[in-house]
Amino acid sequence: MTIALTNFAARRHPPQGISTHKRTPNLRRRTACALSVAALVSLLAPSSAWGQMPNLVDVSAQYVPSTTLDHPKPLKAQIATYTANLNVPLRLGEKTFLFPGLAYRSDAISYSDRPPGFVDLRAFHSLEVPLLFVQLLPNGWSFSLRASPGVAGDSHFFDTDLLRLSGSAVVSHTFSDRFAMGVGAMGTYMFGSLLPLPAVRIDWKPVDGLRLEAFAPAFVNLKYTFGDRVEIGARADFSGAFYGVRDDRVRNAWPCRAGADDPATPMNEAQANPKQCVDHVAYSVGAAGGILGVRIVSSLWVTAFAGHTFFRRFERQNKDNDTLEEGEQDLPNMFIFRTGLAWRIPHS
């Protein structure tokens, strides 16, 4: 015990001549991060830019029951989606902020009733490095620009052909402490392929505790907060992904490559057919339902979403982004459940 207490005292009060400069860089980094968060709280709330701020950290898992695919029958597939996001707030100037981040998504697929010869691609991954720039402007205006370069594909996804870029640009204005609105444009994969779309952002608090947040067409969120501890509400959103396929079982087989012709089929397998070769797959889903959030400690929240999909589509496309024959499938709408953990930027 004497040794332990002596060591503890030495750590708290190092003898004269022993330098503690090695701790300074870590302390400076923690201090800079804390100051950046404090600056965000003081400057952005209740500005039009507050609703554009990402969570510092969030992870989620989503489950959809298995469904029968139209092609090839009688195959059934069940998809589970996992995401993880990290964002670091940096203050570049008095009213200028930068959020470098890291975003990962995985769609895991399990199959049943597989027909002979079916190639079961079981996991797709995407890794992005988003960068959000926020500039506060005079008279309640703000401007945000987000760029998200990344790669997405199956387990062999590290291929320069799979590089992609999505992003958005929004100009917003705070009309009052209760209402802010912004307009702009986005390039998104939420519908399965890259689409340029208009964007509208709304942040409205009609009464204390009730808040409507929307970034159309991505999501609409209505929630009521009880005592800064529990949130209950409703949500509708779209999500999607665009994954390259580089599995050798696909790339080295017909129709991507010529093989031995099978006289029992009408196709000529001795000749490759690039127009029917799968280069990438696109998956998109729209869902609506109820949400529940509980604050555990500080600004750490556990959340849950339960509802029903109203749009589901799966597409197989070639290198020219043309959908293959029988490559587009509107999947049956199903029950959906999502749970997550989020470390939000504190409001105070």
Per-residue pLDDT tens listing for the chain (348 residues): 333 333 333 333 444 443 444 444 555 555 445 445 544 544 455 445 555 688 999 999 999 998 887 666 678 889 999 999 999 999 999 899 999 999 999 999 888 877 777 777 888 999 999 999 999 999 999 999 999 999 998 865 567 778 889 999 999 999 999 999 999 999 988 776 788 999 999 999 999 999 999 999 999 999 999 999 999 999 999 988 889 898 888 888 889 988 887 887 788 888 888 999 999 888 889 999 999 999 999 999 999 999 999 999 888 899 888 888 888 888 889 999 999 999 998 865
Burial of residue 28, with CB atoms counted within 10 A of its CB: 0-12 exposed, 13-18 middle, 19 or more buried: exposed
Q: Give the C-alpha separation, 228 to 91, whole Å.
A: 27
Q: Give the C-alpha separation, 242 to 248, whole Å.
A: 19
User: What phi and psi, each to the nearest 5 degrees, are found at residue 167?
Assistant: 175, 180
Strands (E), the chain: 57-68, 76-87, 90-93, 96-112, 123-128, 131-136, 141-153, 163-174, 179-188, 195-204, 210-216, 219-226, 230-244, 280-297, 300-317, 323-330, 335-343
Both tokens of residue 215? 């970034």
Residues β-bridged to residue 316: 281
Encoded amino acid at 162, one letter: L
Both tokens of residue 24? 């300074």
Within a 10 A sphere around the Cβ of 305, how many other Cβ atoms?
Answer: 21
Domains of the chain and any CATH numbers: 20-343 (2.40.160.40)
